């Protein structure tokens, strides 16, 4: 039964959970060092992995891998999180005009995946994510530090170093989306931990953006229920 099943995506930075309660799924996130949340049965836990495994035991037979997902033109080396986002978008996004789906997952990495309305993978791009870029600047330079606040300036040219860093990183992330998205041909689907924060900086008209932060977790649920013939 669905009520007995919970889901986990092991991310690069955090653990992402879907817990079934009161006839609906609750989505939440924990740090990798934290203990397993209450009411999670590891023996029944369905999971997928794109990062370093946590320090508790996960049953291999409960793992979802890219090769398990049925999408046309999907290579086995494709990230399972990207594949899960694709099957969720195909299932839940209304697409009467049969446009391509452009999925932007704003996480540790900004992964951009494009597929057609029939579920065939076209391809994509990978870009260092928001915090990944900030931390990289701090680690590889002498004088640049990760800003303590993420107040994105509206101006394009800044004197203050922290503001210049923030604006540059934001532009690198939103600029690639702005350049790839064609509203006449595509439906833009935004997800991931930084999606709500970064959507505000996109130049794309907001009515052309579908923001579903937990798209990958929804893909895990849809995939599992489909193979159990419950969906």
Q: If you write DSSP's letter for every residue of 135-196 in order, what string do you get?
A: HHHHHH-SS----SS----S-SS-SSHHHHHHHHHHHHHHHHHHHH--TTTEEEEEESTTHH
H-only helix segments in the chain: 80-92, 130-140, 161-180, 195-199, 215-227
Give the start-to-end residue ranges of the domains of the chain.
2-63, 67-218
Inform me whether the pLDDT recorded for 1 exceeds 50.
no
Does position 196 have pLDDT exceeding 60, yes or no? yes
Predicted TM-score of the model (pTM): 0.93
Mean pLDDT to the nearest integer, 37-55:
93
pLDDT band (50, 70, 90) for residue 45: very high
pLDDT, tens only, 98-156: 999 999 999 999 999 999 999 999 999 999 999 999 999 999 999 999 999 999 999 99
Structure tokens at 70: 């049925």
Architecture of domain 67-218: 2-Layer Sandwich (3.30)
CA dist., res. 210 & res. 186, Å (int): 11
């Amino acid at each position: 039964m669905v009520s007995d099943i919970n889901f986990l995506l092991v991310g690069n930075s955090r653990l992402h959970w879907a817990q079934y309660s009161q006839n609906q799924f609750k989505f939440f996130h924990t740090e990798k060092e934290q203990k397993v949340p209450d009411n999670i049965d590891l023996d029944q836990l369905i999971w997928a992995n794109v990062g370093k495994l946590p320090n508790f035991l996960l049953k291999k037979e409960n793992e979802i891998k890219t090769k398990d997902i049925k999408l046309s033109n999907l290579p086995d080396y494709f990230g399972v999180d990207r594949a899960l986002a694709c099957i969720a978008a195909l299932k839940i996004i209304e697409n009467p005009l049969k446009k391509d789906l452009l999925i932007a997952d704003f996480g540790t990495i900004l992964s951009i995946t494009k597929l057609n309305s029939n579920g065939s993978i076209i391809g994509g791009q990978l870009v260092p994510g928001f915090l990944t870029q900030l931390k990289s600047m701090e680690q590889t330079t002498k004088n640049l530090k990760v800003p303590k606040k993420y107040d994105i300036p509206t101006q394009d040219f800044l004197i203050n170093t922290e503001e210049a860093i923030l604006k540059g990183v934001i532009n690198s992330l939103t600029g690639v989306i702005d350049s790839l998205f064609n509203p006449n041909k595509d439906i833009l689907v935004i997800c991931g931990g930084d999606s709500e924060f970064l959507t505000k900086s996109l130049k794309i008209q907001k009515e052309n953006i579908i923001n579903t932060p937990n798209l990958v977790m929804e893909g895990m649920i849809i995939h599992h229920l489909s193979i159990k013939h419950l969906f």
